[in-house]
């Protein structure tokens, strides 16, 4: 059974599209979002569970906030989800914006199995991106390893992998990557910008700051929360009195726009790495779903 993949930057409408496609092909959706796995982190990660309706979904609310979750575990969890979906006789649809997670599934990175080195991560975290980049440049690169340096978090992971591979053999690949048809959504920049800003205002109105307060009160460390993404980083700083409300909104809004650009950069990197992404024409959700189904049937779009 071919895996259908729907990817796109934040606020592109990919979840709505995945749900519409799932309705038409008896599908079940697997989230490809590195933050939606955490319980209690709903508004800041954009789970939008009401959109799914009766469509089954997987890999949302998998672990408690504060726990460590990494790409190698994600890939194993996807394999389990694929088996469960197949047993239910449904079509799997992988949907999200975390390019690294998607690529780990459809290309089967051998490097996903490199274990997390918490002590190394703690030691590297205080350093600047420039210092970390210089450290990575001076490390020998394992064969075929193409480090993702788009964020500080991923730069640290690249150093972790490169250093580990100097003294260890790579773990065996657990199972072949599934056959996948990958579809991408890339709205016009101005449309995306308007959606991001409107969505941020809505999430704040719904209680994003209360969500962050609850996480802090539950015992999740402030340092850990800032590691979980922009919304949690800036909300934590605001609640700690490090900036006023106007600065908080302005900075967070700007950084989310930049994040969307970095997502698109990573998707282009995926194409350079040999993955074929079929970019959809912009239209309504129904029109894009029609286009996906047409291409899945092997007919010209």
Q: What is the pLDDT of residues 203-242, one digit of tens each?
A: 999 999 999 999 999 999 998 888 888 999 999 999 999 9
Contact 18, 288 (CB under 8 A): no
Please name the residue that has the structure tokens 């210092």.
131
Binding site annotation covers 113? no
User: Worst-scoring range by mean pLDDT, 35-39, 273-277, 289-293?
Assistant: 273-277
Q: Is 10 annotated as a binding residue?
A: yes
Give pLDDT, residue 172. Answer: 61
- The C-alpha atoms of residue 205 and residue 294 are separated, in whole angstroms, by 39
The secondary element (H helix, E strand) that includes residue 255 is helix 245-272
Is 13 one of the annotated binding-site residues?
yes
Q: Is 14 known as a binding-site position?
A: yes
Dump pLDDT digits (tens) for 30-59.
Answer: 999 999 999 999 999 999 999 999 999 999
Backbone torsion region of residue 108, taken as left when φ is above 0, otherwise alpha when ψ lies between -120 and 50, otherwise beta: left
Q: Which pLDDT does position 114 carry in this prediction? A: 85
Which strand ranges, in their side-by-side order, compose the sheet holding 180-184?
57-58, 27-32, 91-96, 3-7, 180-184, 277-279
Does the annotation place 219 within a ligand binding site?
Answer: no
Cα-based distances in Å from 133 to 27, 127, 148, 273, 278: 42, 10, 11, 21, 32
pLDDT in tens, 75-119: 889 999 999 999 999 999 999 999 989 998 998 767 777 888 989
What are the tokens at 79?
């394999």
298 labeled binding residue: no
């Amino acid at each position: 059974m071919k895996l259908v993949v729907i990817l796109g930057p934040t606020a592109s409408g990919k979840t709505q599209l995945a749900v519409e496609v799932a309705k038409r092909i008896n599908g079940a959706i697997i989230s490809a979002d590195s933050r939606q796995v955490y319980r209690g982190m709903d508004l800041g990660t954009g789970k939008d569970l009401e959109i799914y309706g009766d469509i089954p979904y997987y890999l949302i609310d998998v672990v408690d906030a504060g726990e460590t979750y990494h790409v190698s575990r994600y890939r194993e969890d996807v394999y389990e989800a694929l088996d469960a979906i197949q047993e239910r006789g449904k079509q799997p649809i992988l949907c999200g914006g975390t390019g690294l997670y998607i690529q780990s599934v459809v290309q089967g990175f051998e490097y996903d199995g490199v274990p997390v080195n918490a002590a190394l991560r703690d030691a590297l975290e205080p350093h600047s991106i420039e210092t970390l980049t210089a450290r990575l440049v001076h490390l020998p690169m394992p064969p075929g390893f193409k480090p993702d340096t788009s964020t500080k978090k991923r730069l640290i992971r690249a150093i972790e992998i490169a250093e580990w591979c100097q003294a260890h053999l790579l773990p065996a690949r657990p199972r072949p990557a599934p056959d996948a048809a990958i579809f991408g959504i890339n709205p016009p920049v101005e449309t995306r910008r308007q959606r991001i800003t409107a969505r941020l205002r809505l999430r704040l109105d719904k209680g994003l700051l209360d969500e962050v307060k609850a996480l802090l009160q539950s015992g999740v460390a402030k340092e850990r929360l800032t590691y979980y993404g922009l919304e949690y980083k800036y909300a934590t700083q605001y609640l700690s009195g490090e900036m006023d409300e106007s600065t908080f909104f302005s900075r967070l809004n700007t950084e989310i726009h930049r994040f969307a650009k970095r997502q698109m950069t990573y998707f282009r990197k995926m194409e350079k790495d040999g993955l074929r992404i079929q970019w959809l024409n912009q239209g309504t959700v129904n029109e894009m779903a029609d286009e996906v189904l047409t291409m899945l049937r092997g007919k010209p779009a």
